[in-house]
Structure 1
Amino acid sequence: MPIYNKRFTLSAVSAAVMAASVNLQAQEATDYGDATLEVITVTGIRQSLTNAMDIKRDSAGVVDAISAEDIGKFPDTNLAESLQRITGVSIDRSNNEGNKVTVRGFGPNYNLVTLNGRQMPNSTALQSEGITRSFKFAEISAESVSGVEVYKTGKADVYSGGIGSTINIKTARPFDYDGFVASASVKGVMDTSVEKGDSVTPEIASMVSATFFEEKLGVLLAVSHAERNSRSEAVGTQAWVPNYGTADTSAIDRSKNPEGTYWAPWTFDVDVADHDRVRQNGQLVVQFAPIDSVTATLDYTASRYDEQVSMNRTSVWFDSSTGVTDSNGTVINPSVQNDELNFWAWNYDFVTENDSVGLNVKWDATDSLSFALDVHDSTSESQPGGVPAETIANTKNPGKLVNIEADFSNSSGLPGISFDDSALAGGAFAPDNIVSDLFQERGYEIENNIQQFNLSGTWENLDDGALKSVKFGVASTDYQVDVYESQSFAFVDLGDLQALGIKFEDLSDFGDQMGNNSGLFPLLGDYEASDFIDAVKASQQYYEATPTFDKVSEETLAAYVAMDFETEFNGYPVRLNTGLRFEDTEVVGTSIQNGILGLSYWHDEELREVNDDMPSADTLEGDYTRFLPNLDASIDLTDDIVARASYSRTLSRADISAMFPSTSLDVSRPGGPFNASQGNPGLLPITSDNFDLSAEYYYDEGSYVSLGFFKKYVENFIGATTEDRVIYDVDGNPITDPSANPRPGCPDSSGVNPACLGTASDPVITWSVATPGNMENAEVYGWEFAVQHMFGDSGFGTIFNATIVDGDVGYDVYDNENTFALTGMSDSANLIGFYEKDAFQARLAYNWRDDFLLDTRQSQIGGQPVFNEAYGQWDLNASYNVTDDITVFFEGLNIGEETIRRHGRFANQLVSAQQYGARYNIGVRAKF
């Protein structure tokens, strides 16, 4: 008679340890004498959730996981959007796609992301983002991922770098499968926001895996290609600047704002941006097992990310504005007389190339002793070839004949704008009333390389005894970052602009689309920044600033030991994991730049830095050692109830851009401000002592409820220290201000007038120099609650989880001297309902995140805070198995077309309200 067997390819424990959570895979029919083993394949939402639950239950410490629902089928099309379903995990979005993650209130920079246990490099192109270690999930396709694990407690045998969490992305290996398997999917992405380009774009993914020579050789190839067009629309301002312009402050509540500080908008902007994104991923894995005791895995992983953005903006600068404040100090009706409208054009060009080559060799030396060698060389490069990430052009009205007033009194809707352009014959939008103003080119070219070596061993006790296993090893990480920073800025006069083809786009429905009827600019100036730059070059007014080269070398040597125990306490089974990791880190920061000769009075709004042609290097060093212990304990109170307690010490390292030793003159304008910055390679890591208590009740197959409490004592948070000081030129003379007492003929943008260069007789400039430093200690604590319930055999199920997080790391909105606050800290919750029966699957998910501090670097004119307002989004997906091997599916993202809002210190200080629209995918998936 036939024997029916239903089993995991790998157990849940193996999946957690060996990164092979690939659900139940079909097994080839095997003869057992006269009996034949028939295969029952179990996949889908329920099995994926059950696998993830088993990983959570069987792991030491606090671990959450996501497993693929089938070969080539991850729960969401974007990894970050899947991760946000995990308790305590929330995401940041870029162009309405999940891009970076926050765990337990700690933002992207405080979480370490690994690929198959290896630390991955990243790079960026935007100066406004800085150079961080945060991983960009939008660059990785989800189709080749078999699972993701989120370690919320530290482990001695895991690379350090995340005080929020360590997130391990697991990809498939050919030995995970028996024989030949393959999958492929094709989908059309329909973005409802598209106005330019194709509204339906393709996403294609495939994977092929095969084993040969009686399972001694395996080869796996996975590739994907994804295109997406979209449009984003935004209303906001570039910054809210303290004591900017003049204001009536009589309404300020002095009990909250005793100094009467007021904040005025720097600009008022309406933006429309068209995005064209292409993402390509590939992975080739070869596994070889010449003998039963040795397995070698050689893998190559690559991704290519290319996003082109064309953006236009109609805006106004509130230079010398007047207005009246509300009780908080917000100027709610700023106005300027005799000014102009500005018509900006942006071309963004984001290119990132990621490559990783790795080798892993495992050797079972005896039945109880095994060794593993893992090495990899991984590189992330942004803007290869030095193409500027941002090209910016501005045109404006001539003569400053427009009167402008804005209304920021609404704390929930959009602000309004009104202007009187009657003094301009034909009005502000007449082509004859538009002249050239300036251009900018800026951005980073970055090469980030990580080389890691990890030699580990595992001893397993095959006899009775409490000590079950010992893991030990040594590791090294060589982290190298090379940065080429370019920035050009110049005011230009191009004369007749008709050749640029400037036209205007109607914005009459713009506010209505965001749920508000406030008056906005009626028209948007529409032209390409690249055409403007071509005209600048043709007129021989193009200016290219002297680039800066920065380099950070960070080398870490580590040694670790970890032990697992199993015993009993008063008859209750107890599991213990304890370990210690030792790390020694050396940092060298080097900056190469041309010497500063002084400032030239170039324009009535610009003092230009003048450099010599003699590059010189500044080098600073730092070092530190750390011991990182951990102890995890779990006790089975019953067969279904597990209680846990954990302690670990973890660390996060400083952002790369915080460690450049060069002094950069960031802002220098006639009359001020004069802002500069300098990095600090001697920054110590941020360390955290973490305590976790939790209880979990696994009351039915695939169903559980859990409650956890965590507390983190964090030391050495990095904040901005500011020092007023004089900066010296290459000859040792203080830099002076040539605009204070301008000489005849100045300002002069021709570049040939030496009289406009600062001299010893001009006033010496006192610069406000920002330098990062280790400053703060803080406590962060919170509660996590999760319930996952399967309604018997009905096919229905639900998930609800919530995280409440708090701490003494908030931002005082009335304090202009804030030096530190924790970005990303917020409560979050998920509600998911799903149905899976026979050939049909469906899932509806709502993800909510409370308001949080996004950034403290809003403006070069003094760092100002940006808060992201509470945001909730509905996503839907459904699929139908036409046959056992062919599935059609539908996905809907942001189906409620929510608006993302960000504000400054107070709700009516709108920074941006962004509208993206819904996105729908429809496709077919096949497996063989």
Structure 2
Amino acid sequence: MSAPRRNAASQRFNMKLSVAVLAGAGVLSSASVWAQSAQSVAEKEQAAAPINAVVVSGVRRAAQSAQAIKKNSDEVIDSIVAEEAGKFPDKNVAEILGRVTGVQIRRSGGEASDVVIRGLPGLTTLLNGREVYTSNNRNLNLTDIPTTMLQRVDVYKTQGAEMVEGGTAGVIDVRTARPFDFKGFSASMAGRLENRDKSDTTDPNVSGMISNRWKGSYGEFGALLGLSYQKGHYQDEVTWNSPPAIVLPDTAPNVTGPVDLGHTYTRGKRERYSANWAAQWRPVREVEVYAEGWSTRIDHDRQAQFFVGTLLLPSYNPQYTLFPGTNQVDTATSTGNLFALSSNQTPQDDSESHQGAIGARWDVTPDLRVTTEFSRIASHWQQQMPIMELLAHPRTIVGSTYVNGGARFDYPGYDMLDPKNYTWNNFIDNWSESRGQSNDWRADATYDLGEDKFFREVSVGVRMAKRKAAYQHESANFLPVTPELNLPAPSSVPGLLCPSMKPGNDYGMDRWLVVCENYQHANLDAVRKMYGRDGQTAPDPYSLFSNKEDTNAFYGKTRFGFEAGSVRFEGTAGVRVVKTKLDVNGFSLIDGQQVAVNRKTSDTDVLPNMTLKAYLTNNLVGRINAGKSIQRPAFADFNPGQSLGATPDGLGIYGGNGGNPDLKPIVGKNFDVALEWYFAPTGSLTGTVFRHKFENYVIRSLALETIDGKQYRMDRPRNINDGQLEGVEIGYRQFYDFLPGWLNGFGLEANYTYMKGYLMDGGVEAPFAGMSKNAFNIVGLYERGPWSARVAYNWRSKFVDTFNYRTLQAPVGPLNLVVDPIETVDASLSYKINDNMGITLDVENLTDRTYNDYHGIPSNPRDIRRYDRVIGLSLRWKL
């Protein structure tokens, strides 16, 4: 094929692909889609296309789709699109997001967990454009959505007036398939075996989807059903130091070191059952009715085996050495009646969430479209978490505070695996439960004024949502061991004691005895009786909250366009007005009495938004976006209850924690400027400069408060008056189709984000928790014939995990908990056996990464953590 004909075919394909993808995404103007002008052009070009035109599929097609969505969107957006329905190289949505520009994730508990956009946690999660969340949180845990359900994931850095309010950092919209997305009958199945090295397990993952559409005398119908089952064991290993404190206040007031050090080994098993379904009916071309839903159930059992050893107390007469040139303890030997604690925390979580929606579209005229939708969410979570403790009684401890990023310690001459060396300690009887539900209705109308007008489209809409959330946990959970209990020796109780997990690294005394996980749950009522309690306790009234939130929103938006010389401009302007009524109920302690608290608040927020996009050339796009957004605090943050400590510290100050019913929504004023060069169907170079200013930002912090005449160091969420974040994002994507032979299968995706910012806390600049100043991803791709491969490298610089992590006596002072740079490497290799079947081998955590954090300075480490390396083998079949 000659170069002109090849380029023409490529352009025809790209146009058809863009129209199809954007129409399905709702990114193109709806009026343009109804008019079918772009589709008609595409169909005519397809009929005229030569038989041997290039057909793009797989990784390239997914990259083209994502690029088309970004280019044509009014908002600043990044998307990841499936190669085919439900086919992603990752297991869940959170794992996928780690490759998106400006998004960082953390992995623990066997999978990706926390997700932040541009260093901020204030995001909103949507499912098919509608709000979705768990029982008492604002967002859905994105690990709960398996990728086998997905069509694509959109990450919005800016928001239009028509979008559900919330998310000062951004919006993550998870899109699942509907039957009309397919030409006819479609089915797929996937099976995966997943091996993890530290937990030494191999687990199954199975999923399937079936969809069909057909025509009858009453129009066209479609139905889809997807099912997924995931089972995963995992093991996390942690070795830690406590925050530095003064070792010998009387004789060495400047020498600091950790009082305690220890190990934490966590082993868990997580099972997820997920389902999604959708039905569509199109009686005539102008009308469509649909219903769809999503459900997930998670059973998550785990045990966290703690060992706490006290190294530095004045009564132990510690003999220590210092790091050269510092006053920090390096090594120490202590003797005496040492504190050595074995603890096994064994939470068992059960949660389920369900969302159902029904909606309709009516093209009243060729220029007027009306849509409406009603959805409902119900969610429930409960946990039993008994903690049983034992004491060992060694006489000597030898410890090093900093070995390979953690602590190393041993007990010479003492056998930590001998049952006779243990006695009983405390029993902590924890349980908690939350429930939530919501009803959400919205209606929208869009009128097409014509592409030859300055104002080309007008949209209006209304949304009404009613949500309830409730939470409670146990009262009087702490049951101390006392002589009156007359407990039998632990070594005499059959099935009570188990050796701790075996770690992968040497940190001295690395194994000990714990109360077995199975024993704790199988004998929970018997253990309660042994400690003098009959059955589960009543809920703590100070933990109980029951909140109602009513939201009414209205928006108006216009799309406009004009030309100035040879430059074509398109833009939008809109405003969303949101009224929120909050009814908070709980209990608080006032003058020593339990008092019911009810707090009602009402806020009205006006959220303007404007975008302007300039087509400087056919392939060079500039854009400016400005807008205002809000983020409501989590329901738990409003809890008026508070827990107050009974024993003061050395300064006569008590400890306490609680919620804050007076919290205000976070306000973000956002400004983005972008320049995007689309030099090939799968080639782009983009850059975005952004700035966010915040009001009423919420952080959890310590402050002195006087309650009932006593001073408490209260830990609770608080509003901060001022904050600012700014930065730059750069993204590059290209497949090197111009290279000869097998080399044209190579492709590269790379992105870099730079951020800086601050929060003003009491006149002091505080860092954004979780924000790395620098982060980048490099993904090497290869696709040729039946083979495709991917190697992804992710790196982020150090960040503050917790601001004012500890407030201690001078000279140590307040400390931030800082996390060292994190890097991960993942890889996958796929082979397409035939048109209907393929096999994939993937590896997560290829380099066996470690996670390190420290108290203020690197030579005061807190944790070194190690996670599983995961090897997966998948077989996929489609029809």
Structure 1 portions without partners, runs of 5+? 21-28, 124-130, 253-261, 513-518, 599-610, 729-733, 735-764
Secondary structure (helix, strand or coil) at the match of 2:474 reads: strand
Write the deviation string for residues 648-668 of structure 1: whole angstroms up to 9, x where unpaired.
111111122221112322564
Report deviation, 1:678: 3.7
Structure-1 separation of matches of 2:580 and 2:185:
45
Structure-1 separation of matches of 2:829 and 2:582:
50
- The answer on whether the counterparts of 1:394 and 1:439 sit within 8 Å (CA) in structure 2 is yes
- The answer on whether the counterparts of 2:184 and 2:214 sit within 8 Å (CA) in structure 1 is yes
Provide the residue aligned with 1:114 in structure 2.
126
Provide the residue aligned with 1:179 in structure 2.
184
Larger deviation: 568-577 or 455-464? 455-464
Larger deviation: 67-76 or 328-337? 328-337
Provide the residue aligned with 1:792 in structure 2.
737
Secondary structure (helix, strand or coil) at the match of 1:365 reads: strand
Identity %: 22
Provide the residue aligned with 1:602 in structure 2.
none
Specify the code of the residue in structure 2 equivalent to 1:89: V
Structure-2 separation of matches of 1:667 and 1:146:
54
Report deviation, 1:251: 5.9
1:235 is aligned to 2:261: no
Specify the code of the residue in structure 2 equivalent to 1:223: L
Within 5 Å, give how 1:623-634 maps onto structure 2. 623-634=602-613
- The answer on whether the counterparts of 2:124 and 2:172 sit within 8 Å (CA) in structure 1 is yes
Within 5 Å, give how 1:381-396 maps onto structure 2. 381-383=380-382, 387-388=383-384, 390-396=385-391
Residues 530, 247 of structure 1: alpha-carbon distance in 2 compared, 3 angstrom cutoff:
farther
Report deviation, 1:315: 2.0
Structure-2 separation of matches of 1:667 and 1:133:
33
Larger deviation: 836-845 or 446-455? 446-455
Provide the residue aligned with 2:5 in structure 1.
none
- The answer on whether the counterparts of 1:673 and 1:861 sit within 8 Å (CA) in structure 2 is no
> Structure 2 residue aligned with 1:479, among 455, 467, 486?
467
Provide the residue aligned with 1:14 in structure 2.
23
Structure-2 separation of matches of 1:924 and 1:278:
20
1:844 is aligned to 2:824: no
Within 5 Å, give how 1:432-831 maps onto structure 2. 432-462=420-450, 464-487=452-475, 488-492=477-481, 494-498=487-491, 499=493, 501=495, 505=499, 510-512=504-506, 519-529=507-517, 531-532=519-520, 533=524, 535-539=526-530, 541-542=532-533, 546-548=538-540, 549-592=544-587, 617-666=596-645, 668=647, 674-720=654-700, 724-725=704-705, 727-728=707-708, 765-792=710-737, 794-809=744-759, 821-826=767-772, 827-831=774-778
1:81 is aligned to 2:95: yes
Within 5 Å, give how 1:246-395 maps onto structure 2. 246=249, 264-265=257-258, 267-317=260-310, 320=313, 332=330, 337-383=336-382, 387-388=383-384, 390-395=385-390
Specify the code of the residue in structure 1 equivalent to 2:239: V
Larger deviation: 401-410 or 153-162? 401-410
Structure-2 separation of matches of 1:333 and 1:132:
44
Structure 2 portions without partners, runs of 5+? 1-8, 30-42, 739-743
Provide the residue aligned with 1:757 in structure 2.
none
- The answer on whether the counterparts of 1:312 and 1:527 sit within 8 Å (CA) in structure 2 is no
Specify the code of the residue in structure 2 equivalent to 1:537: R
- The answer on whether the counterparts of 1:667 and 1:673 sit within 8 Å (CA) in structure 2 is no
1:413 is aligned to 2:405: yes
Secondary structure (helix, strand or coil) at the match of 2:603 reads: strand
Residues 55, 509 of structure 1: alpha-carbon distance in 2 compared, 3 angstrom cutoff:
closer
Cα RMSD, aligned residues only: 3.4
Structure-2 separation of matches of 1:564 and 1:245:
70
Structure-2 separation of matches of 1:478 and 1:330:
55
Write the deviation string for residues 761-820 of structure 1: whole angstroms up to 9, x where unpaired.
xxxx43333443322311111111111111116111011111011112499xxx9x9795
- The answer on whether the counterparts of 1:66 and 1:148 sit within 8 Å (CA) in structure 2 is yes
Structure-2 separation of matches of 1:286 and 1:41:
31
1:890 is aligned to 2:837: no
Report deviation, 1:540: 5.0
Residues 244, 217 of structure 1: alpha-carbon distance in 2 compared, 3 angstrom cutoff:
farther
Provide the residue aligned with 1:742 in structure 2.
none
Larger deviation: 527-536 or 798-807? 527-536
Larger helix proportion of the pair: 2
Residues 725, 858 of structure 1: alpha-carbon distance in 2 compared, 3 angstrom cutoff:
closer
Specify the code of the residue in structure 2 equivalent to 1:136: N
Specify the code of the residue in structure 2 equivalent to 1:218: G
- The answer on whether the counterparts of 2:110 and 2:232 sit within 8 Å (CA) in structure 1 is no
Secondary structure (helix, strand or coil) at the match of 2:617 reads: coil
Residues 368, 675 of structure 1: alpha-carbon distance in 2 compared, 3 angstrom cutoff:
same
- The answer on whether the counterparts of 2:258 and 2:312 sit within 8 Å (CA) in structure 1 is no
Residues 596, 511 of structure 1: alpha-carbon distance in 2 compared, 3 angstrom cutoff:
farther
Residues 342, 501 of structure 1: alpha-carbon distance in 2 compared, 3 angstrom cutoff:
farther
Specify the code of the residue in structure 2 equivalent to 1:541: G
> Structure 2 residue aligned with 1:139, among 126, 140, 144?
144
Residues 450, 405 of structure 1: alpha-carbon distance in 2 compared, 3 angstrom cutoff:
farther
Specify the code of the residue in structure 2 equivalent to 1:375: F
Report deviation, 1:856: 4.3
Provide the residue aligned with 1:397 in structure 2.
392
Secondary structure (helix, strand or coil) at the match of 2:147 reads: coil
1:151 is aligned to 2:156: yes
- The answer on whether the counterparts of 2:759 and 2:765 sit within 8 Å (CA) in structure 1 is no
Structure-2 separation of matches of 1:652 and 1:249:
48
TM-score (ref. length: structure 1)? 0.82
Structure-1 separation of matches of 2:189 and 2:146:
13
Structure-2 separation of matches of 1:391 and 1:596:
31
Structure-2 separation of matches of 1:182 and 1:834:
27
Write the deviation string for residues 161-197 of structure 1: whole angstroms up to 9, x where unpaired.
11111110000011111221111111111111224xx
Larger strand proportion of the pair: 2
Structure-1 separation of matches of 2:237 and 2:702:
36
Residues 324, 294 of structure 1: alpha-carbon distance in 2 compared, 3 angstrom cutoff:
farther
TM-score (ref. length: structure 2)? 0.86
Report deviation, 1:876: 0.9
